[in-house]
Structures are given as structure tokens and as C-alpha cells.
């Protein structure tokens, strides 16, 4: 390269450097101008911090959505939250991600602890880890229920503010709009804005029907319906008080009773769920404590019998935990979207061979059994179809059968492993062996294992065969006859146990019995749900009374409209009310009479009789006049009914919740110690007497 070329390149570089310096000073001077400084201050005031938890949760949401296992729970939570957070995708994703993250922060450490504590027992580890899936589901439901309860609390404050706004404007729509501008309670403000838009839409009746399907709770449905009727037909004075505000008071009182009921239920059950799952994590610590203090229990805890008791304790714990979850139902809103989903049962049922096989077990149309199952599904408020129910039953049957077979095989292996690994020695009731004795005992065990492997599988082996093999071996070349005979007896006992540890015909029969129980389990759970729901009958009828109290003084309200409102908020009695409405046009009195014959709950029968009176004889206001005059009595009765319901659920819950704890102490600790201790003492006394 020539010198001239080098000089040219250096000149170009210096020119570029000079241009950069000039541009830097020009930009610096401009950045120091007043406008730029002011904009920079404004930007700093609104600039997001380097770390934002909201951004983190949004990113985690996207990550969770890609994970097949977490996706199911994420979408389940989202379906409930998007009803509360109307059209707010950011907040829905934020809350969903928070709930999933908190659940993971709880369950991951618990999983690690379980793995560390049960690493020596793979079967128990697998069972407990599967059980944790249900705990995750419970945690997720609890977190979402908390948001439902917060919304209900916000509604009480919203209705209080609504009263003041209505006094100022005397217009329903404007009062709702003004109250909805509250930025403190975002969730209820969105619901109020939605109701305001519905009331001012071109077809409010149609929009209201759509809102009824997605409203987070019945109280917002009542508020939207009463607001529409008042805006449509106008308000009126009753005893000098606005009827609309009086109805708001009725709804508020209902919400306050519901909040108190939920708080009491949560307080009653807050520890029962934990108590019911304590045995799950206490199995290994109790086993370690018993073995370290009572060495004579090794044959129980390390053998097949101890494993059977462990599995039974876990099974009882699992059942009790599920029952407590069903029993705890505190009335929090659960948006049922099963009909819009495509569950695995539906996908499985669409496979033709599977469909043909399942149809063989489903009762035919018109049979008494099919009618009973349908009535049970309706009484339990289950949204699953009868085909899905039978798929659950059949799948559970197959799973329970093969799981039982696998467990039986593993139990045999546990017993064989115990014989091959336990030190061979005579134990007394006191303490552990020292290191020297333990080493000698393990040498004896290894020697015995050599002969066990030699004769394993030979069912006709005698003690003489073992003794001959022992004399030919190097292990007992210099041993005396007494030692050989004693060890041969021990080896023969071990060999008989090992040869007997195989899957037997009666174990397959037991697995079939378990499978039959598994087949019946979904129906039994359905009946349990029906029993729990029957406890809430009185509460639902009292809600009907509140609805009638709000409607009976409105203009143009008739019996059919009252039935429509009752059907809208009904849960337990939804089916008979729906049938009554369907038959109403063909004869109102007859339809109500058929409904009265169909139900057996006396308080609801009295309401139907009053509706019959209002159909032909007297106005609705007079037919239900006692509801207004005895309003305070019914409120006190409602409180007493709630207390009775909570007390009954609490009593059943405590009985169920403490069952696993009692079972683990009695069945896994006390009984083995007493039985094995007495057996060991009897054996020791017999040995002493023989000596």
C-alpha cells in the first residue's frame, strides 16, 4: 500500500471523527433546551421501572400457556376471571398468572419435601405426587373464590354509593353511570358500566338475557333486572320510600347475609383441609420414629403389611379430602362452561368402538335406572352428560383394576426385598444393634441370600436339601451341625416366604372388587353432592321470598314473571320451575299444581300455593303480603338457617377431616406397636421357658 493511500484513509477517518464531535455538541446543546428538558421530566415521571412485576406476570402467562400441564389450569382460571374483568385482557392475564405462580410457589417446595422424605419408597412417592394434583386444584379454586368474595364485598359498597347517586339524579341509568366512575373498586365498576350499556341499548331485554348467562353472581342479576324494570315502568313510593331503593336494600341485606355465611364457612373449614392431608406427610416421619425407638417393628414397617396400611391411609386421606372440598362449597360463584367445552370424555365417546362399548352399559331410554341417574345429575346440579358419567365410571374401573394389580405385584416385591435386605438376627425389645452386630447380621443375610437364589422357585425344597447344599459350600465348611440346622431353618422360612410372593388368584378377585367399587364411585359421589345440596334448600327458598318481595309491588308484574325470575336464580329447584313455565300457557293453575306435587319441600309448597291464589283470586301484593309485614322475622330466620347449615356442615366436616389423622395414629402406630409388642413378648417368654 502506497503512502498516498494511507494519508487519504487517515484524512477520511479524521473527517468522520470531526463530524461525530460536531454532531455530539450540537445534539447536547439541543437536549439542554427548555422544551426537551420538560419532556424528559414528564417521561421520567411516567417511565416504567426497570423491573415490573406486571410485565413479569404477563410474560409468565405466555410461558404457562405453552406448557400442556399448566394450560388446563390456566384456561380454567381465565374462564372465571374474564367474567369479572369484563373486556380487560391485561387484568385477566395478570390475575391468572398471579394465581398460577402462587400455586407453583407453594406446590414446588412441597413436592421437593415429599420426594426427599419418600425417596426410599417409590410407590408412596408416586401416590402422594398424584394426590398433589388435587391439592393444586383446590388451591387454585380457593384463590379464584377469594376474588369472587372480594367482588361481593365491593357490591355492598357500590349499592351504598348508588343510593346517594339515585337521590341526586332520580334516574336509574345516570345513578349507575355516576357510581361506576369509582376507580377504587375496578371489578364492580366494570360490571356497573356493562349494566348501564345494557339499559341504554336498543334491545335491553335481549342484552339482559345475555348478561344473565355470564353475570358473576345472582345479586348482580337481581340488580340489573330491577334496574331495567324501574327504568321501563318507573319508580313509585311505598310507605314514603322509593321502591327501587327499597329493593336495593333487600339485595344488600341478601349480600350481607351471604358474605357472613361464606366467612363462617371459611373459618370453619380453613383448617380441616390441612388436617385431612397431614397424614400424607406424616407416614415416613412416624415410620422413622417407630423404627428408631422400637426396632422389633421392622418386620411390619419395612414389610408388606406396613405398605398395605400406608396405601390404605393415603386412600382414606384422598377420599376425605375430596369430600371436604365438596362439603366446603361456600356458595362462591362457579361459572359452569362445561357445555361449551370439549372434554376428554366427549372426545373419547366420539370414537366409534368406544361409543359402542360404552352404550352397552348406559341404561336404555325410558328405563327406571336411566331416569334415576338423570334425576341424580339434576339434583346434584351436574352439567355432565350421562354418557360422560359412564365413561368416567368405566375408565375408573379399568384404572382401579390395573392399579390394584400393579400394587399387589409391588407389595410382593416389597416383601421379597425386605427378606433380602434385612439383617438376620434375633431382636429383643430394647434399642438398636451396634455397628459390629449389624455388620455380622448383614453377613449372615448375604450368606442366606446365596442359598435363596439357589433354591428360589423350587417349591418342593426341603430342609435336608438346604443342609446338603450348605455343607458343600465354602460358607459352612467348618460349621457344626447345630449351626447348619439353625441356619437351614431360617433359610427355609425365608425361601417359603419368597416362593409364596407371587400374584395369586384371590388377589385378582380382590382387584375386581376394587374395580366394582371404582365403577360405583362416581354414582356415590353424585349422591353425596345431592345430600349436600339438600342442606341448602331452605336458603334457596328464602332467596325466592326476597325475589317475590322485590317484584310484588312493581307495576305489570304477574305470576309468570315471578316464575321466570325464580327460574333464573334457582339451582336446586330449577327443573320443576322450568317445567311449570313450559306448561304455564296450557293452564296456569294446573301447571302450578303439577309443580306442587313434584316438590316435597314444605316452604316452597307454600310459595306455590300463594302463586295459585294470585293467579285467580287476589292480586300478587295481597297474596304475599305477609312477606313484607314479617320481613324482619324472615331475616332472622334466614340467619338462623345459615347458622344451622354451617353447624351441620362443620360437624360432618370435622368427622371427615379427622378420620385420616385418627386412622394413621391408630392403624399405623398404636395397633402395630401393641400387637407386635405383645407377640414379641409372648415369643420371648416362650423362649425363656424353653431354656
What does the pLDDT look like over 270-299, one tens digit per residue? 778 778 877 877 877 888 888 887 777 777
| Residue 599 · residue 251 · CB < 8 Å | no
The pLDDT, as a whole number, for residue 25 is 59
Over the stretch 385-406, which tens digit does the pLDDT of each residue have?
888 889 999 999 999 999 999 9
Number of other CB atoms surrounding residue 109 within 10 Å: 10
Q: Classify 415 in phi/psi space as left (phi over 0), alpha (psi -120 to 50) or beta.
A: alpha
Are residues 373 and 363 in contact, defined by beta-carbon separation less than 8 angstroms? yes
Q: Which residues pair with 242 in a beta bridge?
A: 237
**Grid coordinates standing for 424?**
438376620
Kindly report the number of other CB atoms within 10 A of residue 486's CB atom.
12
> Nearest CA to 381 among 434, 331, 427, 307?
331
Q: At what angle do helices 122-169 and 186-199 cross, to 10 degrees?
A: 60
Q: How far apart are CA 645 and CA 622, in angstroms?
A: 31
Which triple of cell numbers denotes residue 392? 368416567
Q: Name the packing angle between helices 218-233 and 122-169 (round to 10°).
A: 20
Looking at residue 350, the DSSP 8-state letter turns out to be T
Q: What is the DSSP letter of 238?
A: E
- How many C-beta atoms lie closer than 10 Å to residue 188's C-beta? 26
- What pLDDT does 400 receive? 92
Contact 275, 659 (CB under 8 A): no
Q: What is the grid cell recorded at 420?
A: 433380602
Q: What does the pLDDT read at residue 186?
A: 77
Q: Is the dihedral of CA 222, 228, 231, 236 positive or negative?
A: negative
- Contact indicator for 571, 549 with CB cutoff of 8 Å: no
Residue 123 has what pLDDT? 66
Q: Give me the pLDDT at residue 551, please.
A: 83
Helical (H) or strand (E) element with 279: helix 272-293
pTM across the whole model: 0.71
Torsion over CA: 339, 340, 342, 343 (sign): negative
**Residue 405 has what pLDDT?**
93
Burial class of residue 448 in the structure, from the number of CB atoms within 10 Å of its CB (0-12 exposed, 13-18 middle, 19+ buried) = buried
Residues lower than pLDDT 50 in the chain = 1, 34, 36, 39, 42, 45-46, 331-340, 428-430
pLDDT value for 509:
94
Q: DSSP letters along 33-63, please?
A: SHHHHHHHHHHHHHPPPSS-HHHHHHHHHHH
Looking at residue 684, its pLDDT comes to 62
Enumerate residues 6+ apart whose C-beta is below 8 A from 100: 60, 64, 70, 73, 74, 77, 140
Cell of 539: 336458603
Kindly report the three-state secondary structure assignment for every residue of 316-340: HHHHHHHHHHHHHCCCCCCCCCHHH
Across-strand partners of 241? 238
Rounded to whole angstroms, how far apart are CA atoms 178 and 186?
14
Question: What's the pLDDT tens digit per position in 313-345?
Answer: 888 888 888 888 778 765 444 444 444 456 778
C-alpha cell, 60? 409468565
User: What is the CB-side half-sphere exposure of residue 506 using CA atoms within 13 A?
Assistant: 0
Q: How many other CB atoms are there within 10 angstroms of residue 629's CB atom?
A: 9
CB 595 within 8 A of CB 607: no
Q: How far apart are CA 655 and CA 658, in angstroms?
A: 6
Residue 502 burial (CB count, 10 A) = 12
Residues across the chain: 691
| Distance between start and end Cα atoms, the chain | 112
Residue with cell 415490573: 52
Return the closest-CA partner of residue 514 out of 406, 657, 661, 663: 406
**CB contact set of 358 (below 8 Å; sequence gap of 6+):** 349, 387, 390, 391, 394
Side-chain-side CA neighbours of 649 within 13 Å: the count stands at 32
Give me 648's grid cell: 351441620
- Tell me the C-alpha distance between 362 and 444, whole Å: 60
Alpha helices in 170-185 (DSSP H): 172-179
Q: Domain residues of the chain, as ranges?
A: 65-269, 344-534, 536-655
Amino acid at each position: 500500500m502506497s503512502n498516498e493511500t494511507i494519508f487519504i484513509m487517515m484524512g477520511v477517518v479524521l473527517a468522520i471523527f470531526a463530524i461525530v464531535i460536531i454532531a455530539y455538541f450540537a445534539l447536547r446543546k439541543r437536549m439542554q433546551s427548555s422544551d426537551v428538558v420538560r419532556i424528559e421530566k414528564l417521561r421520567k415521571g411516567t417511565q416504567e421501572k426497570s423491573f415490573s412485576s406486571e410485565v413479569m406476570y404477563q410474560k409468565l402467562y405466555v410461558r404457562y400457556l405453552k406448557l400442556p400441564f399448566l394450560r388446563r389450569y390456566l384456561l380454567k382460571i381465565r374462564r372465571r376471571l374474564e367474567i369479572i374483568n369484563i373486556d380487560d385482557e391485561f387484568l385477566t392475564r395478570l390475575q391468572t398468572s398471579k394465581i398460577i405462580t402462587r400455586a407453583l410457589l407453594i406446590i414446588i417446595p412441597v413436592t421437593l419435601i415429599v420426594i426427599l422424605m419418600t425417596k426410599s419408597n417409590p410407590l408412596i412417592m408416586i401416590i402422594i405426587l398424584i394426590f398433589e394434583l388435587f391439592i393444586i386444584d383446590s388451591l387454585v379454586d380457593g384463590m379464584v373464590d377469594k376474588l369472587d368474595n372480594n367482588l361481593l364485598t365491593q357490591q355492598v359498597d357500590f349499592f351504598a354509593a348508588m343510593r346517594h347517586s339515585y337521590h341526586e339524579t332520580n334516574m336509574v341509568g345516570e345513578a349507575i353511570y355516576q357510581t361506576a366512575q369509582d376507580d377504587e373498586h375496578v371489578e364492580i365498576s366494570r360490571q356497573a358500566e356493562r349494566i348501564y350499556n345494557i339499559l341504554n341499548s336498543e334491545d335491553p331485554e335481549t342484552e339482559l338475557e345475555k348478561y344473565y348467562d355470564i353475570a358473576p353472581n345472582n345479586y348482580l342479576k337481581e340488580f340489573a333486572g330491577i334496574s331495567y324494570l324501574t327504568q321501563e315502568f318507573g319508580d313509585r313510593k311505598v310507605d314514603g320510600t322509593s321502591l327501587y331503593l327499597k329493593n336495593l336494600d333487600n339485595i344488600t341485606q341478601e349480600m350481607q347475609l351471604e358474605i357472613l355465611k361464606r366467612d363462617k364457612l371459611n373459618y370453619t373449614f380453613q383448617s380441616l383441609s390441612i388436617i385431612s392431608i397431614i397424614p400424607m406427610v406424616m407416614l415416613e416421619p412416624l415410620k422413622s420414629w417407630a423404627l428408631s425407638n422400637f426396632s422389633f417393628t421392622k418386620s411390619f414397617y419395612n414389610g408388606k403389611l406396613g405398605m398395605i396400611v400406608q396405601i390404605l391411609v393415603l386412600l382414606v386421606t384422598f377420599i376425605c379430602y375430596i369430600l371436604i372440598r365438596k362439603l366446603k362449597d361456600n356458595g362462591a360463584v362457579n361459572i359452569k362452561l362445561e357445555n361449551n367445552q370439549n372434554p376428554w370424555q366427549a372426545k373419547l365417546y366420539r370414537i366409534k368402538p368406544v361409543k359402542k362399548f360404552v352404550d352397552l352399559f348406559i341404561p336404555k331410554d325410558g328405563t327406571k335406572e336411566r331416569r334415576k341417574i338423570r334425576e341424580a345429575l339434576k339434583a346434584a346440579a351436574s352439567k355432565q352428560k350421562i354418557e360422560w358419567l359412564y365413561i368416567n365410571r368405566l375408565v375408573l374401573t379399568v384404572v382401579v383394576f390395573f392399579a390394584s394389580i400393579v400394587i399387589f405385584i409391588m407389595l410382593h416385591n416389597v416383601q421379597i426385598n425386605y427378606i433380602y435386605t434385612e439383617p438376620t438376627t434375633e431382636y429383643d425389645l430394647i434399642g438398636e444393634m451396634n455397628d459390629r452386630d449389624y455388620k455380622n447380621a448383614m453377613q449372615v443375610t448375604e450368606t442366606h441370600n446365596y442359598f435363596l437364589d439357589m433354591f428360589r422357585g423350587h417349591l418342593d425344597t426341603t430342609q435336608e436339601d438346604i443342609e446338603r447344599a450348605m455343607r458343600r459350600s465354602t460358607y459352612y465348611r467348618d460349621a457344626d451341625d447345630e449351626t447348619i440346622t439353625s441356619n437351614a431353618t431360617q433359610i427355609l422360612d425365608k425361601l417359603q416366604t419368597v416362593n409364596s410372593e407371587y400374584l395369586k388368584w384371590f388377589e385378582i378377585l380382590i382387584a375386581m372388587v376394587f374395580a366394582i367399587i371404582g365403577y360405583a364411585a362416581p354414582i356415590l359421589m353424585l349422591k353425596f353432592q345431592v345430600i349436600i345440596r339438600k342442606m341448602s334448600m331452605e336458603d334457596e327458598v328464602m332467596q325466592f321470598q326476597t325475589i317475590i318481595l322485590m317484584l310484588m309491588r312493581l307495576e305489570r308484574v304477574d305470576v309468570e314473571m315471578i316464575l321466570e325470575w325464580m327460574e333464573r336464580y334457582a339451582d336446586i329447584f330449577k327443573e320443576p320451575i322450568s317445567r311449570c313455565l313450559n306448561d304455564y300457557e296450557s293452564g296456569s293453575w294446573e301447571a302450578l299444581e303439577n309443580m306442587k306435587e313434584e316438590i316435597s319441600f314444605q316452604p316452597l309448597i307454600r310459595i306455590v300455593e300463594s302463586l295459585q291464589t294470585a293467579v285467580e283470586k287476589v292480586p300478587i301484593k295481597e297474596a304475599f303480603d305477609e312477606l313484607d309485614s314479617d320481613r324482619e322475622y324472615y331475616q332472622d330466620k334466614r340467619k338462623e338457617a345459615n347458622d344451622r347449615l354451617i353447624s351441620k356442615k362443620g360437624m360432618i366436616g370435622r368427622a371427615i377431616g379427622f378420620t385420616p389423622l385418627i386412622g394413621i395414629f391408630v392403624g399405623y402406630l398404636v395397633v402395630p406397636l401393641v400387637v407386635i409388642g405383645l407377640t414379641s413378648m409372648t415369643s420371648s417368654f416362650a423362649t425363656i421357658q424353653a431354656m
